[in-house]
Structure 1
Amino acid sequence: MSVEAQGVQDVTVDLPTAFKYRAEEYYVRKAYSSYYVRVIELLQTYDYISVTGTPGIGKSIFYDYFFSRYRNEHHEAIIVTASFNKDRQLEECVVFSPDGSSMIWDNTDFPNIGKRIPNAIHLYDGPPSVKPARSKMVTFTSPNFGWLDSMRKNVEAHCELYMPVWELGELGDAVKVLNLEISDEELTERYKQFGGVPRYCLAKSARAYRKGLIAMEQAIEKIKTLEDVQACFEMSVPLNLVVHRLLHYIPEEDPTFATLEFGSDWIGIRIYNQLAVKLSQERAKLMKWLDGAGKASTFNGWLFENLAHEKLFDGGTFKCVQLDERRQEISLTINRTIGHYERFATNFTLEMVFQNVYQIPKSQTFKSIDSFIHLGETLLLFQITKSLNHPVDCAGLVELFAKLELVDKIKQNPRFAQLIFVVPQGIGDSYKNQQLITQNLRLEDLMGAGVRCISGIGPVLQKKLHDKNIFTCSHLKAHSKDPEVKHEFELLTKHIDLLKQVCDLSYLNMIPQYVLEIEV
C-alpha cells in the first residue's frame, strides 16, 4: 500500500534530527508527495534547496519522508544526513551507503565531508553552518536569517521552497490516524487560536498546548502601536519571540515565494482590539502603508474586510452600482445590528437567519461570501475584496442556498438574491461583472473518480474503504446496502446532490451583481 493511502509512516530511527520526535510513526500529509517532486525538480536547476515555512508545521517530518522516499527510489545514492541547532551548530552527521549500512561521521571532520564524499546528496535538518562542496543539498529549516542571508548572494545556486500550514481537515485526519486523544471540539478551538500549526494543535499534553498559548499571548502583548505591526511584517522585531509566534508564511502560487499573514483570526482580532483602531485616521494611515508593502498585503485585506464589516454592521444607506451595461445606481438601506452579536457557523439554524441582521461566518474558509442579510424579500450576499478580479465559487453559493432552504425560490426568481462586491473607494468604476466558477469534476465523471474526491472523506475513511476493495465512487455505490459503509455512502449521496445543483448554472448567472464602495 502506498504512503498516501496508508496515511502514516514509521519514523526513521537512526536519522539525525534537530528535535527528538517521540512517536514511532507520523502522519503523511498529502502535500509531502507534491513537495517531494518539486524539490527533485528544483535540484535539476539549483545546488541548494531550503525547504522552509512557518515554525511548527513539520518540516523535520517532511525531512524524514523525503529521506525515506529518496533512499527507496535511488538505491545507488550516498546520502549525507545531518542535524543542526538554531545557532547553526552541527549536532550529528550520519552517512547512509547504497548497501543499506550507515556510519556516524566525525563532527570535527564535517567541514571536509563534501570533498571526501563527492556527488552525494546532503539532507540537513536545521540551518547548516556550511554548504557542501561538489554536492547537492536540501535543508529543512524554519526561516533562519543567518543561513538565508549567507545564501542571498547565491541566487543562481540556492532556492527557497515554502511549505503550507495545515488545514483543519488534515489535522482531524491526523488525530484519527495517530489515535490522538483530542476531541473535535478541542481541535477546532486550538485551530481557531493557532491556525494550522500541528505543534500546538496536535499537542498530546495540556502543558505543551498551554506553553504555546502563553508564548503567543506574550508576543501579542509586545504589539503596542501601529508601528509595531509594521515592524512585525517587516521582520525588524525578534523572529522567535514575535514574528514566528504571530505570523504564518503562506506560499504563493509559485511556492518559492511566500507572503506573511496573521496565523489566525483570533490573533488578528486580539491585536486589532488591543490597538483600538476603529474607523480612525490611524487605520487609514496603516492601510495606505500596507498597500505598498507586499508581504503585508494579506493583513491589509484583513483590515479592509473588518472595516467593511463594521460599516455594514452599523447600518445606513449605501449606494450600489449594478454590474451590467446600464450601470444603474441603487440605494441600499441596512438596519443597524443591535445587541449581542455572534458570527454564524456553517451549521447555523434557520431561526438565526431570519433575524434581519448582518451575518458573518465563523469559518475562515466559508466559500463564496463573507456575509449576508436576509431581508425577507431579498437575500443580500456580500463579498469583501480589494481585487478587481474575484471569481465566485458556485458550489459555495448553492451550499448556502441549500442551508437557507432557498434553492427552489432562487431558481424561480434569481433576482431574489443579490451579490454585492464591497471594494475600497476608487475602484468601483473599473469593476466588472464577476465570473462564476464551477466544480472541476463533472457529475458524469464522478462514478469513475476515486473516493477521496468525496467531501468528508480523508485518508482515514479512504483506507477503510480501500481495505474493503472500494476504490471508486462506483464501487461505493455498489455497496450502498453495506451497513459498514453507511456513513460513507451518505457522504457520496450528498456530494451527488451538490453536483446536480451546481451543474444547473443558468439561474446563478441571472443573480444580479453590484459593487459597493467603502471609504477607507
Structure 2
Amino acid sequence: MAKEPKRKTQDRSQDNTAEKRTGMAPKPYTQSTQTSTSRTLRPTTAKKASSSKAKGVIQIEQASTSKSNRFATATKLKIFCIVKNESTSFSVDILDSETVDDLKKAIKEAKKPKLDKFGADELTLYKVSIPDEENIVVESNIEMVRLAPPSMKLWEKFDSVLPGGTIHVYVKPPQQGGHSKKPYFNKDDLKSAIIAAGIADKALVDGNPDLSRLDANEKTRLLEFLGRRVPLGDSYRSLLDIALSLKKAGHKMDDLKKFSAPNKKFLPVVGTPDLYIRREYPSLYKTIISQFKVPPTSLSQNRLVVTGTPGIGKSAFLVYFTIRLLAESDDIDPPFIIFHTKRNSKCFIYTGGSPQHSAVYSGAIEDFEGFISLPKTWCLVDSSPDPVLNVARTVISASPKTLTEQYKEVEKESPDRYHMAPWELDELEECRTSVRNFKVVTKDFMKRLYAKMGGTKCFAQGKNTLEFSGRILHRWPLDNHQKYYLKWASPHVQAEIITQLEDKLWSGILKDPIAGGKDIAKGPLFGLYVHHIFRKGSVSFETKSLTPNSKTGVLYIPANLSVTSIRTVDEFSGLSSCPKSQRRLFVPNNLSQVTISSDHPIKQTPLKNIIEKINGGQRKKSSKPVKHYFVVPNKIYAGFKAQDYITDNNTISKAIPQIIKTHVKQYALKIDLDTAHTGGSPGLSNRAASRSGSNRTRQRTGS
C-alpha cells in the first residue's frame, strides 16, 4: 500500500521561499478533512503508478524531471476574486491542475458582461490575502504577488484549502482608451492622490487632506488622479459640450426652448439628442441658485428634493441644471458638479467654464467624497441607491415611491421639497414639435393619449385593470410647489375606476373621506364617489343658494344619464346631454364642481369660455341662469359660502366678466357621507325629497 504523499510540506517550503522574496507572511497550513472536495487525475507523464484506497484518493507519481517530486492529486479550489475599483467579491470554481491562463478565462466568464470588452489575456492577476469586507481595495495598502506566467499551474501558488472570509485574487483590467494614463487613486488614498498631483504642500494640513485650500486649477489637477477622463463619445460628456457651445454663442438661457447635443448624440436620462426645457425649469433653477448659500447655516439648508408624479421630467431637470450652470459659469472660479447617476454608484464630475479648463471625470461616488465635503460643490443625485449627504449643495430627484421606500434618511435630513407639475397638453405639443425624435407622434394621437392617461410620458394599462404607481392619481403642486394635491390622471382613468368598483366596495372606500387620512387623499376619493352616484342617478340632494338669506332646495338626478367625454372647450357647443369632464358634470344649465375644501375659488377664464360655448354660443340670449353647484361633504355643507373668482395668476379678480356676473349663480350640494358609509343614500330620503314646503325648491337636472 502506497504511503500518503507529503505534498503539503513540500508546497509550503516552496511558498515560504516565494513569500520571503515578496515580503508576504507565510500562511499556516491546515489539512483538509472535507469529504466533498472534488478530486480527479492530474495529467502527467508518469513513470510508475501506485494506488491506494485510503480516503478514496487516486495518486500517480510525477516524473522525476518535475520541479519537485509532487503527486498528481487535483483539487477543486473556490477562489474569491475582486476586480479593481469594485467592492464586491465573487468566486470561481477551478481545479488546481489548471493554469493561470485558465483562471483568467474563468474570471472573464464569471464577470460577464463587465469584462466582455477585454481579452482574457489582457487581465493581470495578483495573489492576495485580504479580508472580504466589501470595500474597494487600496493597492498601496496590500501585499500582492503577480500570478505569471500564464502557463503556471495554480497548485504552485494556492493551497488545496484556502482561508475563508478572504479575497485570494486581485484582478486588474487593462486601462481603457480615452482615460487618463496617470495612476488611479480612490477615496481611501486621497492623500496619495494629493501627493501624486504635486499639491501636498497646500492640500495637506498636519498630514490630513483639506481641499478647501485649493483653487480651481489645483482641484482639476487632483481629479486627474481620483477619476478617469470621460471620452468625447460618452453621452455624459455631451452635457459639457452643449454648455461650452451655448457659452460661446452667448445665448440667453431664458429664451431657449431646448438644448441640443452636437452631432446628434443622445443625451443621458432623456435618450434623445434634444432636451426640451419645461416651463418651470428656469424658475426652479433660479430659485435654487438664489436660495443655496455658501457656507450654509445648517447642513440641511442647501438640500432640495425635486419630486412628483413619475414621468414628468424630474431627472431631466438635473441634466438641464448641469448644462445651464456650466454655461453660465465663471471662468476664474468655475463650479464643480457631481452628477450621481440613477440606481448606481457611478458618478460624473464636471468642471470648467472655458474649453481650456473644462473636463469631465468618472468614478464611484466614494472616489469624490473629498469634493462632496466642500460647500461650493454641487451634487446632483438622480435617485441613486445610496446618496452621500454632506455640506455640498445637493439637489435630489426622486419619485414619491423612492422617498418612502428608499430615502427615509434623506427625508429626515433634507426637509425641503419641490413638487413638479405634470405636463399640460399645450406643453406636450410644444415638446412634440421641438424635439426631433418626438415628431413621429401625430398631434391627434398625442391628444387622444393625453385624454386617456394625463400629463406624463410614462403610463401602463393592463388587460383587465389599470396599474397604479402614479398612473391613476397625479400630484399637482400648490402655488409655492412645497405642497401638492392629488387629482385623477384623466377622465378616462376615473371612468375606468368607477366601472370596476362594485357598490359593495364603496362603504369601505368612504372610510377615508369620513375619518382619518390626509386631505390630499380624501379629495380624489370623494370625487370618485360623487361621479359614481351621479352616473348611477335616481337620487335627490339637498342644495342651497350661496346668496345670503336664500332658501334651500332639492336637486334630482335621473337614473342612467348618458355620459360624453369632453377634451376641448369647443366640444361644449350645443350640449343637450350630460357630458362629464374631470372636474365638472355638465348639462345646459347646471355645472358641478367637487371639493372637500371650504376655500375653492373659481378660475374665471375657463368658466367664461365654457359658458360662451354652451348651447352653441347662444348663452347671452338665454334668460336662465347657469347654476354652479359645489358638491361638498355634509361636514362642511352648512358653513360653505360663495367662492371668489380668480385670474390666471391665481389672484382675486377685480374685473369679473359680465357674462359670469349675469348668468352664473353659485350653489352648494350636500353629499351625506355618514349615511352613505352605513349603506344608506348619500342624498335625501324619499320622504324628505317629497316635501315641498315653502322653504324648498325642487329642480331637475337639465331644467
Seen in structure 2, the aligned counterparts of structure 1 residues 329 and 42 have a Cα distance that, compared at 3 Å, is same
Q: Are positions 1:29 and 2:278 aligned together?
A: yes
DSSP-derived class of the 2:367 partner: helix
Residue type of the partner of 2:666? Answer: Q
| 2:630 aligned residue (421, 428, 432) | 421
| 2:525 aligned residue (290, 294, 300) | 300
Q: Are positions 1:281 and 2:507 aligned together?
A: yes
| 1:408 aligned residue (616, 620, 625) | 620
Q: Are positions 1:392 and 2:602 aligned together?
A: yes
Residue type of the partner of 1:33? Answer: P
2:7 is matched with none
Residue type of the partner of 2:502? Answer: A
DSSP-derived class of the 1:62 partner: helix
Q: Superposed, which structure 2 residues align to 1:45-444 within 5 Å?
A: 46-75=301-330, 76-86=333-343, 89-99=344-354, 100-107=357-364, 110=367, 112-114=369-371, 119-127=376-384, 129-131=386-388, 133-143=390-400, 144-145=402-403, 148-155=407-414, 159-179=416-436, 180-198=439-457, 200=458, 212-213=459-460, 216-217=461-462, 220=465, 242-277=468-503, 280-289=506-515, 292-310=517-535, 314-338=537-561, 341-345=563-567, 346-348=569-571, 350-351=573-574, 353-354=575-576, 357-361=577-581, 364=582, 370-374=584-588, 379-404=589-614, 405-410=617-622, 413=623, 416-438=625-647
In the alignment, structure 2 segments of 5+ residues that lack a partner are 1-250, 674-703
Indicate conservation of the 8 Å contact 2:381/2:396, yes or no. yes
DSSP-derived class of the 1:427 partner: helix
Indicate conservation of the 8 Å contact 2:306/2:420, yes or no. yes
- CA distances 1:23-44 after superposition (whole Å, capped 9, x unpaired): 2212111110111122224423
Per the TM alignment, residue 431 of structure 1 is displaced from its structure 2 partner at its CA by 1.8
DSSP-derived class of the 1:430 partner: coil
- CA distances 1:172-223 after superposition (whole Å, capped 9, x unpaired): 111111241111221122223332113x4xxxxxxxxxxx53xx4289467x
Per the TM alignment, residue 295 of structure 1 is displaced from its structure 2 partner at its CA by 4.4
Following the alignment from structure 1 to structure 2, what is the Cα–Cα distance between the partners of residues 74 and 503?
A: 46
Indicate conservation of the 8 Å contact 1:81/1:122, yes or no. yes
Following the alignment from structure 1 to structure 2, what is the Cα–Cα distance between the partners of residues 439 and 92?
A: 42
- CA distances 1:22-75 after superposition (whole Å, capped 9, x unpaired): 322121111101111222244236132222322222223211211122223331
Per the TM alignment, residue 96 of structure 1 is displaced from its structure 2 partner at its CA by 1.4
Per the TM alignment, residue 422 of structure 1 is displaced from its structure 2 partner at its CA by 2.1
Per the TM alignment, residue 77 of structure 1 is displaced from its structure 2 partner at its CA by 2.8
DSSP-derived class of the 1:256 partner: coil
Indicate conservation of the 8 Å contact 1:386/1:423, yes or no. yes
Indicate conservation of the 8 Å contact 1:344/1:359, yes or no. yes
Residue type of the partner of 2:480? Answer: D
Indicate conservation of the 8 Å contact 1:126/1:140, yes or no. yes
Per the TM alignment, residue 102 of structure 1 is displaced from its structure 2 partner at its CA by 0.9
Following the alignment from structure 1 to structure 2, what is the Cα–Cα distance between the partners of residues 251 and 12?
A: 35
Following the alignment from structure 2 to structure 1, what is the Cα–Cα distance between the partners of residues 263 and 504?
A: 53
- CA distances 1:323-360 after superposition (whole Å, capped 9, x unpaired): 2232212344444445x532344333655x23xx4332
Following the alignment from structure 1 to structure 2, what is the Cα–Cα distance between the partners of residues 512 and 38?
A: 41
Seen in structure 2, the aligned counterparts of structure 1 residues 265 and 79 have a Cα distance that, compared at 3 Å, is farther
2:667 is matched with 514
Following the alignment from structure 2 to structure 1, what is the Cα–Cα distance between the partners of residues 603 and 345?
A: 49
Indicate conservation of the 8 Å contact 1:308/1:518, yes or no. no
Residue type of the partner of 1:403? Answer: K
Q: Are positions 1:6 and 2:256 aligned together?
A: yes
Seen in structure 2, the aligned counterparts of structure 1 residues 78 and 359 have a Cα distance that, compared at 3 Å, is closer
Per the TM alignment, residue 399 of structure 1 is displaced from its structure 2 partner at its CA by 1.3
Following the alignment from structure 1 to structure 2, what is the Cα–Cα distance between the partners of residues 16 and 359?
A: 44
Following the alignment from structure 2 to structure 1, what is the Cα–Cα distance between the partners of residues 531 and 644?
A: 25
DSSP-derived class of the 1:347 partner: helix
2:292 is matched with 43
Per the TM alignment, residue 169 of structure 1 is displaced from its structure 2 partner at its CA by 1.1
Following the alignment from structure 1 to structure 2, what is the Cα–Cα distance between the partners of residues 217 and 321?
A: 43
Residue type of the partner of 1:371? Answer: L
Residue type of the partner of 2:493? Answer: I
Indicate conservation of the 8 Å contact 1:15/1:94, yes or no. no
Following the alignment from structure 2 to structure 1, what is the Cα–Cα distance between the partners of residues 555 and 374?
A: 72
Residue type of the partner of 2:637? Answer: G
Following the alignment from structure 2 to structure 1, what is the Cα–Cα distance between the partners of residues 499 and 560?
A: 19
DSSP-derived class of the 1:151 partner: helix
Structure 1-normalised TM-score?
Answer: 0.67
Seen in structure 2, the aligned counterparts of structure 1 residues 398 and 251 have a Cα distance that, compared at 3 Å, is closer
- CA distances 1:348-388 after superposition (whole Å, capped 9, x unpaired): 3655x23xx43323xx4xxxx712323xxxx2232222222
**Number of aligned positions between the proteins:** 404
Following the alignment from structure 1 to structure 2, what is the Cα–Cα distance between the partners of residues 398 and 125?
A: 42
Per the TM alignment, residue 507 of structure 1 is displaced from its structure 2 partner at its CA by 6.0
Seen in structure 2, the aligned counterparts of structure 1 residues 384 and 509 have a Cα distance that, compared at 3 Å, is farther
Per the TM alignment, residue 85 of structure 1 is displaced from its structure 2 partner at its CA by 3.3
In the alignment, structure 1 segments of 5+ residues that lack a partner are 201-211, 223-241, 443-498
Per the TM alignment, residue 317 of structure 1 is displaced from its structure 2 partner at its CA by 4.2
Indicate conservation of the 8 Å contact 2:527/2:594, yes or no. no
Seen in structure 2, the aligned counterparts of structure 1 residues 188 and 320 have a Cα distance that, compared at 3 Å, is same
Indicate conservation of the 8 Å contact 1:168/1:196, yes or no. yes
Higher relative contact order (CA 8 A, sep 6+): 1
Indicate conservation of the 8 Å contact 1:12/1:64, yes or no. no
- CA distances 1:259-293 after superposition (whole Å, capped 9, x unpaired): 4554334334333433324784333334325x533
Indicate conservation of the 8 Å contact 2:351/2:359, yes or no. yes
- CA distances 1:304-338 after superposition (whole Å, capped 9, x unpaired): 43245336xx2454432222232212344444445
DSSP-derived class of the 1:123 partner: strand
Aligned-pair identity in percent equals 21
- CA distances 1:221-271 after superposition (whole Å, capped 9, x unpaired): 67xxxxxxxxxxxxxxxxxxx524544333333323344554334334333
Which has a greater percent of helix? Answer: 1
Residue type of the partner of 2:634? Answer: Q
Seen in structure 2, the aligned counterparts of structure 1 residues 185 and 326 have a Cα distance that, compared at 3 Å, is same
Residue type of the partner of 1:8? Answer: K
Following the alignment from structure 1 to structure 2, what is the Cα–Cα distance between the partners of residues 280 and 437?
A: 34
Indicate conservation of the 8 Å contact 1:120/1:135, yes or no. yes
Per the TM alignment, residue 105 of structure 1 is displaced from its structure 2 partner at its CA by 4.1
